[in-house]
Amino acid sequence: MADAGALVRSLYEAYQRRDWDACVALLHPEAVYDLPRTGDHIEGGAAVLDYQRAYPEPWGDLSVLRVVASGDEAAAEIAVLGGQEGDYRLAAFWSVRDGSLYRGVEYWVALPA
């Protein structure tokens, strides 16, 4: 079984580097990704990457603060600081299928200015 926590940490670290090739290896081809705050629902690993690549720069500095994992699921707390839209904290929850990140949901919270 793939280490869900290591996969999640690797995904967000690859996002920070904008290392899209590394992301392809981490996301399941049939990945499903939801952002309840905006109502975005994205299906397919390639579509998830297209969404991330198209997000306006600068994102800011993304850092993984912690990852908690159990079995084929992992949650991460992530800081995004210095972006064009301010500072955020992000809670991300992912499940693994066939050794890749399959189902993800992200909850974003703006930090006070």
Read off the pLDDT of residues 35-80 as tens digits, 9 standing for 90 and up.
Answer: 999 999 999 999 999 999 988 777 789 999 999 999 999 999 999 9
* Percent of the residues in the chain that have a pLDDT greater than 90, as a whole number: 85
Look at the chain and report how many structural domains it folds into. Answer: 1
Pairing of strands 27-35, 100-110: parallel
> Measured between alpha carbons, how far is 88 from 99 in angstroms, rounded to an integer?
29
Name the residue range of residue 97's domain: 4-110
We report the CATH number of the domain holding residue 20 as 3.10.450.50
